[in-house]
Each structure stands twice: as structure tokens, then as C-alpha cells.
Amino acid sequence: MAKKDPLQALASGSGGALRKVTGIATVIAVAVIIVRFPGEAADWVGALWDMGSDIIDGLVSFIRQAT
């Protein structure tokens, strides 16, 4: 039975290991922000929600004007 190359998992695929590391780092960063700055994190979520609402309103307005 041949030995498996431990680096083969990192080299194969389309950046699977890098994608996992980036995802884990992002989750940890968001968790730290929520724990250390809960008020600011809530403000950011509210701002993102408002921005998403504005984007949807703009798309609806555009579609209404186009038809």
C-alpha cells in the first residue's frame, strides 16, 4: 500500500483548504466583533438591513418604470 502525500489534500481541488481556512477565520472574526462590540454589531446589522431594503425598493422602482 502506497503512502499518501499529506500535501495532496492542499493541492487538489479548487482551493478547498484555503476556502475552509478563510471561512473559519471569517466566522471567528464576526464572533469576536459580536462579543466585544455588541452595540456596534447591532448597528451594522441594522444598516445592512436598511441598505438591502433600499436596494430592493430601487429594483422595484426600476422595474415599474421599465414596464
The tens place of each residue's pLDDT in the chain, 67 residues long, gives: 556 666 565 555 556 889 999 999 999 999 999 999 999 999 999 999 999 999 999 999 999 998 8
pLDDT of residue 17: 87
pLDDT of residue 35: 97
Report the sign of the C-alpha dihedral through residues 7, 13, 15, 18, in that order. negative
Rounded distance, CA 44 to CA 36, Å?
Answer: 14
pLDDT of residue 16: 84
Domain extent listing, the chain: 38-67
Rounded distance, CA 11 to CA 19, Å?
Answer: 12
36-45 CB contacts, 8 Å cutoff, 24+ apart: none
